[in-house]
Amino acid sequence: MSTINPPKALLFDVFGTLVDWRTTVTHTLSTQAALALNSPSASVPTSVRLFASTISWPDFAQEWRDTYKTFTASQTSSSSNKKFQKHAFKTVDQHHHDSLVRLLADHNLTGL
């Protein structure tokens, strides 16, 4: 490495290597679902209770994570796949919220 023009920054992609997103999300989903289902003051429809009692939270977390690939592809201008057509800009947080709401609806868990 040249010392004449040393690098000003070193960047590392630590997501998935140092950040254990899946375990944290799975734990939070299952814990919050259990709290909602067991809350004496929560009004959770019977159909939602049924679906929530049979769902695999690790699979749900993975499905949620998989939406990120489609999201990032939709934000690139070089994508030629119609599935990944560019959409209006949204933040990663907006994507995570929108995709979670959609997945909850897809799994009949709206209101949980």
Query: How far is Cα 27 from Cα 32, in angstroms, rounded to an integer?
Result: 8
pLDDT digits (tens, 9 = 90+) for 16-64: 677 788 899 999 999 999 998 888 888 888 889 889 888 999 999 999 9
- CB burial class (10 A; 0-12, 13-18, 19+) of residue 111? middle
Confidence of residue 108 (pLDDT cuts 50, 70, 90): very high
Considering the entire predicted model, what is its pTM? 0.73
